[in-house]
Amino acid sequence: MKTLAKMAATMSNVDEIRNRVILGEFDIKNVHTTDYPGNYPGYDDTWNLQKFQKNFRIDVVQMDETSLEFDMVGIDAAIANAFRRILLAEVPTMAVEKVLIYNNTSIIQDEILAHRLGLIPIKADPRLFEYRNAGDEEGTEIDTIQLQLKIKCTRNPRATKDSADPRELYLNHMVYSKDMKWAPIGNQADVFADANIGPVHGDILLAQLRPGQELDIVMHCVKGIGQDHAKFSPVATASYRLLPEITLMETVEGEKAERLKRCFSPGVIEVENHGGKVVAKVVNSRLDTCSREVLRHDDLKNAVKLARVRDHFIFSVESTGILAPDVLVTEAIKVLMTKCQRFLNELDSTEME
């Protein structure tokens, strides 16, 4: 019986090493993936498609027009990180690449203004356009979007004499991204009649003018990826974290329960009244930021076990508004599949040689 109990305890320790990242007071344990074939006697860790399909899942937690939170469960950190990097740098978008400045009498230098224009997110579906060929100076309707910015500041004839407010004194003295107008090339006016091409946000301040100053600019937008320049990145942020797991090792009551609650983010620990006693209870460990504040309290640090589930990733994707976040995730998966297929093709060609 003792031998069986010892074996069960050993297997339990092995499962913890394989499946949990443990947050200690001075270190973090089980950081590296160790469930590869032959590493643990009694475990069959050879990769199996049916097993992967059974364990893998994606659960959408929250989604709106610009942000998406979902759980990706049953994969290794390397794949999760590859997915994150693809979202940041390899999903294409349209952005201002060439700025033709015909007139700029504002106080902003041409280079600074061109840089500001390049970072404006452009509302255009990149899947409907082609990459521009290297060396092509003039774009076509299949690879280029043309935008124009033509505006001049003048005095407001209706302004009162004693007014000092620029908003009343001047007309067109604030240049916003909404002043960037789409100028269709070729048959784009018919093809993209309902696309509403232009800046995603119309309230981005570009420059301030005074009477007599003007801007006359033409912009060419092309298709690109964030790997080439950050202006092509389709997301404001794309990140993931492991699912926190908080386990109470003993009953925590009274003042200690209240103190334990304050050690975690709101909503993680709650106190309940059981038979006249205030008892701490884990309600939602997902909300925890893993600050390890509880480990600073000598009378509480042994009452709680902090861990993270190794193969449960909580993804947060915030779109710049060019594409919906669920579309971005779909496109990132397609890019990852293309990379895998290219790798398999390279293996096949190497074997043939």
pLDDT at 8 over 70: no
pLDDT at 29 over 50: yes
What confidence tens digit (pLDDT) does each residue in 218-270 have? 999 999 999 999 999 999 999 999 999 999 999 988 899 999 999 999 999 99
In terms of domains, do 226 and 239 share one? Answer: no
168 is in which domain, residue-wise? 93-233
For residues 292-317, give the mean pLDDT: 92
Residue 261 falls inside a structural domain: no
In terms of domains, do 97 and 212 share one? Answer: yes
Asked if 317 and 328 touch (Cβ cutoff 8 Å), the reply is yes
Quick one: DSSP state of residue 232?
A: G
pLDDT at 9 over 80: no
CA atoms of 206 and 339, how far apart (whole Å): 38
Q: What is the pTM of this model?
A: 0.85
**CATH number reported for the structural domain that contains residue 33 in this entry:** 3.30.1360.10
Residue 271 falls inside a structural domain: no
In terms of domains, do 340 and 240 share one? Answer: yes
In terms of domains, do 124 and 84 share one? Answer: no
pLDDT of residue 31: 87
Q: What is the mean pLDDT of the chain?
A: 90
pLDDT of residue 213: 95
In terms of domains, do 87 and 97 share one? Answer: no
Angle between helix 77-89 and 325-352 (nearest 10): 110
pLDDT at 1 over 60: no
pLDDT at 12 over 70: no
**CATH number reported for the structural domain that contains residue 181 in this entry:** 2.170.120.12
Number of domains comprising the chain:
2
In terms of domains, do 241 and 221 share one? Answer: no
Residue 258 falls inside a structural domain: no
| More confident site: 164 or 205 | 205
Query: Among 209, 233, 257, which residue terminates a domain?
Result: 233
What confidence tens digit (pLDDT) does each residue in 101-130 have? 999 999 999 999 999 999 999 999 999 999
Residue 176 falls inside a structural domain: yes
In terms of domains, do 130 and 71 share one? Answer: no
